[in-house]
Structure formats: C-alpha cells, structure tokens
Amino acid sequence: MQLFPNELALANLKGEISEDERGYCSVDEAVEWLKELSGLDFGKNVARWEEWVHSQNKKIPSKLADY
C-alpha cells in the first residue's frame, strides 16, 4: 500500500522509513507533522499516535478487508 500522510508520519516516527527512501523525515519532523495533521500532541509516544492513526480509518487491515 501507498501511505497516507498520517501513516507516513507515523512510519517515520517509528523509524520504519530509512534515510535512503523517498519520504524519510526525522523523528522530530514526524512529530511536528503528526501534531499538524491531528491538532493533538502526544510527543514521541508511538502507542498514542498509532491509536490516533488507526482511528482515522485509513489503516492497511481495513483497506485490504474491502477487497
């Protein structure tokens, strides 16, 4: 799957995008981006951000389940 903005920001926060990949950004940039997208501030708390991203209904399991 291609990643939506919130998914890409989260992947960067989790260190899943390498510096050699298109779309990489630093952890600090990823946090700022998530804050901008959500209007929330969970800092570098991955679990809280994952919860928020999953609540946006753009996560891979739900997408695949439709096919």
Q: Which CB sits closer to another protein, 22 or 47? A: 22
Report, in angstroms and rounded to the nearest whole number, the Rg of the chain calculated over CA atoms. Answer: 12
Binding stretches for another protein (CB under 8 A): 1-5, 7-9, 11-12, 16-17, 20-25, 29-30, 32-33, 58, 60, 63-64, 66-67
**CA 9 to chain CA mean position, Å:** 4
Q: Are the C-beta atoms of residues 24 and 12 closer than 8 Å to each other?
A: yes
Closest distance of CB 42 from another protein, Å: 18
- CA 6 – CA 28 distance, rounded (Å): 15
Q: Which CB sits closer to another protein, 11 or 53? A: 11
